[in-house]
Amino acid sequence: MLVAKSEDITRLIEAMVDGGGARAEAFFVAHDLGLTYDSVSKGWGIRKHVNAALLQAERDGRQDEIVEAGLEAYDLTAGELASTKRTSSGGTVPQISANSRVFISHASADKELADALADLIRLGTGLSHERILCTSLEGMGIPVGTTNYLEYLREQLSDAGLVLPLFTPAFFDSEVCLIEIGAMWGLQMPAFPLLVPPVDYGRVEKLLGKFQGAKINQSAGLSQLHDRIVRTFSLKAETSMWEEKKAGFDKRLPSLLKSLAESTRVDANDLRAAKRRTTEIEAQVAGLEAKVKELEEQNRALHTAKTADEADVAMAPKDEIEQFEELAKAAVETVRLLSRAVRLALYEDLGRSEYYRPDAFSSDAEDAERAQRDDLLAYDEDDGGYTPNYDDPAMGDAREALVSLLHSHWSDDFEQWFRTKYRKRWAANSLPVWDALKLV
C-alpha cells in the first residue's frame, strides 16, 4: 500500500477542490467518511469538507488507504510532485521551497515555552535553526534592522512550510497572534495547532472550526508533531534522538505551564456569573441597609417613648407591605420614561440573567436598535443579544431601584399578601409579576 506523502495529500486536496463538491462528497461517502465530510457547516468551502474527512481518516488509521484511493479516483500518479498549489483567490503559489520554515506563532508572554518548543524541534528532528522562525529566540527571530515588523511576518508566514500556533491564554490576548492566525486561515497554510492547558479544543474551534492539532502535554500529540515535521520537510526520522529530547521537554513542561501568563480577558460566562453574584450581594447589602435604617428609627422612637405602650409601638417592625410599595413606586418612576425594549432588557438581565433577544423585524427589535444608538443598550456580537448599559445615569438609577425591589428578602406573609392582591405568585424572574407592577 502507498505510504501517503504530504505532497500527495496536497495534490489530492487540490484535485478534489477543482473537481467540485459533489464528486468529492461521493468519494468520501463511498469510503464511509460521508458523515464527517457533511459535518462541516455548509457555509465553508469544499477544502474545509475535504480536510475534515482526511483528518478523520488519519484518526482512524486509514489515511494511506484513503489517499491511495483518492489518487486513483482522480487519475493522479503517487509520488509526482506538483509544482504549484491553488490559493484561496484561485491563483497559484510555489510548493514548499527548500528554504521554507516552521513558523511558531506565539504570544511574547510565552517566550520561555516557545523557546523550549523550538529547541525540541531543532534537536529532535534535525531541522536547522535557520528553518525555524520563533520571534522570541535569538537567531530564529526577526533580523536586526527590520523596519516593518508586520510586513516581515506576513512574508515569512506566506512562505512557511508549516505553521505551529501555540494556543495559550496569552495567545488570545495578542492582536499580532490573531493577525497571524487570520493570515494562516486566509492563505490556507498547512498548520499543526498546539493546545496549551487550560486552552481546550472547544475554545480553538470557535476560532478555526474543526482542525487537526494536539495538546502539548500529551505524548501522542508531540509524536504526531514530529511525524508531521519529518514528512513536511523530508527529514530523516531519528526516533531515538526525538524520544530523548522529548523526554527532556516533558520533564520541563510542568514548570513551563505553571509560569504561563494568565489571560487579561474575562470569559463571557464568567463575567455573567460575576454580574449575577454582584447583583445578589448588592441585594443583600440593600436589605441590610434597610434593616439598619429600621433599627435606627426604632432606637430613636424608644428614646422618646414615655410609656410602655409607646415602647411597644416603637419596637414593632416597619410595615413590610408599606416598604414594598415604596420600593415599587420608586422602581416604576425610574423606568417610566424608558421604552418597552429597554425595560424588557432590564427584565432579562436583572430577572433572568439572560440577554434580551427581540424577534427579528419586530417593533421591539427596532426599538432595541434605537436604544443601542442612544447608548441605553449594548449589543453582544458573540451571543447575539442586548444588555443594559448601566454606565448611562438613567439606566444606573433603574438598576439600583429594581435591585432593591426585586432582590430584597420578603416574608411568607408578604408573599401571601402579594398573591391575594395581584393574583400572581411573587417571583423576581416572572414577567407577569413585572407586568403587574408596571415595570415593563
Q: What is the per-residue pLDDT across 385-395, written as a single tens digit (0 to 9) for each? A: 999 999 999 99
Q: Please say if the pLDDT value at position 167 is more than 50.
A: yes
For the chain, the first-to-last Cα distance in angstroms comes to 70
Taking residues 296-319, report their average pLDDT. Answer: 68
Specify the higher pLDDT residue, 134 or 60. 60
Task: Decide if 403 contacts 395 (C-beta within 8 A).
Answer: no
Name residue 133's beta-bridge partners: 103
Give counts: helices (H), strands (E), the chain. 20, 9
- Stretch 26-34: mean pLDDT: 90
Q: What is the mean pLDDT of residues 153-165?
A: 77
Whether the CA torsion 393, 434, 415, 310 is positive or negative: it is positive
Predicted confidence (pLDDT) at residue 252 exceeds the cutoff of 60: yes
Distance from C-alpha of 351 to C-alpha of 430, rounded to nearest angstrom: 7
Whether the per-residue pLDDT at 439 is higher than 90: the answer is: yes
What pLDDT is attached to residue 309? 58
Whether the predicted pLDDT of 328 surpasses 90: yes
Confidence grade of residue 9 (pLDDT, cut at 50, 70, 90): confident
How much of the chain, in percent, has pLDDT values that exceed 70? 83
Instruction: Report which secondary-structure segment, H or E, holds 119.
Output: helix 111-125
pLDDT (0 to 100) of residue 394: 93
Higher pLDDT, 171 or 280: 171
Out of 26-30, 139-143, 174-178, 346-350, give the one with best mean pLDDT: 346-350
- Could you tell me if 203 and 173 are in contact, meaning their C-beta atoms sit under 8 angstroms apart? no
8 A C-beta contact, residue 201 and residue 195: yes
Average pLDDT over residues 263-278: 72
Question: Which residues share a beta bridge with 271?
Answer: none
Give the range among 57-61, 66-70, 259-263 with minimum mean pLDDT: 259-263
**How confident is residue 84, by pLDDT bands cut at 50, 70 and 90?**
very low
In this prediction, residue 141 has a pLDDT band, given cuts at 50, 70 and 90, of very low
**Phi, psi for residue 166 in degrees, rounded to 5:** -100, 90
The more confident residue out of 419 and 342 is 342
Residue 79: exposure state from Cβ atoms within 10 A (0-12, 13-18, ≥19): exposed
Which residues have C-beta within 8 Å of that of residue 398, sequence separation ≥ 6?
A: 331, 334, 335, 338, 346, 388
Least confident range of 84-93, 146-155, 264-273:
84-93
CA dihedral 417, 419, 420, 424 (to 10 degrees): 150
Q: What is the pLDDT of residue 194?
A: 93
Vertex 360, ends 357 and 364: CA angle to 5°?
65
Supply the pLDDT for residue 81.
32
pTM of the model: 0.43
Using the predicted structure, report yes or no on whether residue 91 has a pLDDT greater than 50.
Answer: no
Contacts of residue 184, Cβ cutoff 8 Å, sequence gap at least 6? 105, 157, 163, 165, 191
Between these two residues, 176 and 242, which has the higher pLDDT value? 242
Residue 20's pLDDT is what? 81
pLDDT value, residue 151: 62
User: H or E element: which one contains 414?
Assistant: helix 412-422
Is the separation of the CB atoms in 414 and 396 below 8 Å?
A: no
> To the nearest whole number, what is the mean pLDDT of the chain?
81
Comparing CA positions, the residue from 225, 254, 218 lying closest to residue 242 is: 225
Residue 198 predicted with pLDDT over 60? yes
| Contact in structure between 348 and 356 (CB atoms under 8 Å) | yes
d(CA 108, CA 341): 44
